[in-house]
Copies of this chain bind each other. A is one copy, B any other.
Amino acid sequence: MTLSITQAQNWIEEDLQNFYQSYPSTPLFEPIQYLLRIGGKRMRPALVLLSHQLFSDTPEKAREAALAIEVFHNFTLMHDDIMDKAPLRRGQITVHERYNTNTAILSGDAMMIQAYQLLMKRPCKNQHALIELFNQKALEVCIGQELDMSFESRNDVSVEEYLEMIRLKTAVLVGCALQMGAIIADASPESQRHLYACGEEMGLAFQLMDDYLDAFGNPETVGKQTGGDILADKKTYLYLQLLSRASQDEKRKLQGPFSTPEEKVGTIKEWMRYYSIDEEIKALADQYSQSAIEHLNAVDGHNEKKQPLIHVVQQLLHRQA
């Protein structure tokens, strides 16, 4: 039996429900249930399962670890939303807005502990390595979030620094997900290394496509109003590349004023297109995806079982419409 992405995601939904229903609806646990129910693509936990089955015919052995990484990811969302003062998450009110900041801090803390409880739930031969990897990558996610926050008050952020930030904030956890599946299945260090690298490249490609779609996506396909990053002067890849190309005069104009938000978004997108940054970012995402596939090809494992993972990478790139 080979799990498809959809089957993996269905398992996760089922396990998530059982998970949050096992806690009482107290002020500490209720917000956790709320956030987990809002949804999400469950991509990270699905990757744990899809990676694990490359080396194993018992995919259920990775279910708890898959759940752990989803709970951890949602913990980071709960705390990031406080720090970013975000009113909405996936179109729903964020936890700190719906409850309050103290609740979002404390329920987030509880979620991180729950993630470790899930990691410990099914003892495996390589548990020590599993938790050490998780610890290291979890800490790197914090370092990435710190970098992201520090960028807000800086105006000398380089494109390289931005790529390092998204690597830490987003990509390392994707790599962690793929390597965790491999660790649980007792795959070779070489395969583990390739799967981790595959995940990092996927994470980078994903984040760059996110940046691209926020500016150039079709609102109907993307599912939200585009141009948000531009209006918020967010230091994305697109913005930083534009800054690095623009003349002094253009840089001044970039700061505005603009007569309407639409004019701002339109003008800046026009400049980005003029410098071909829209094409460049897609090419870079494509390059990361290719590299992800190469790492996947280098992994020992059934080719047939690699198909769902290849499919995930392809989906990443063809989200744009």
Contact = CB atoms under 8 A, between A and B. Distances in A.
Nearest to A102: B83
A259 to B, nearest CB: 33
Copies of this chain per assembly = 2
A223 interface: no
Contact of A139 (B114, B136, B138, B149): B114
Question: Which applies to chain A's interface (DSSP): helix, strand, loop or mixed?
Answer: helix
Nearest to A132: B120
Contact of A117 (B102, B106, B139): B139
A279 interface: no
Those 3 A-B pairs whose CB atoms lie nearest each other, nearest first: A28-B146, A83-B102, A110-B142
Q: Which of A106, A109, A136, A145 has the most CB of B within 10 A?
A: A109
Contacts of A83: 102, 105-106
B79 A109 contact: yes
Given A83-B106, A102-B83, A123 B114 contact: no
A18 interface: no
Interface string A107-125: 0111011101100100100
Nearest to A123: B128
A231 interface: no
Nearest to A84: B102
A110 B82 contact: no
Contacts of A145: 106
Interface in A44-102: 79, 82-83, 101-102
A106 B27 contact: no
A123 B132 CA distance: 11
Given A83-B105, A117-B132, 12 more contacts: A27-B146, A83-B102, A101-B101, A102-B149, A106-B142, A106-B149, A109-B109, A110-B142, A114-B139, A116-B135, A117-B135, A123-B128
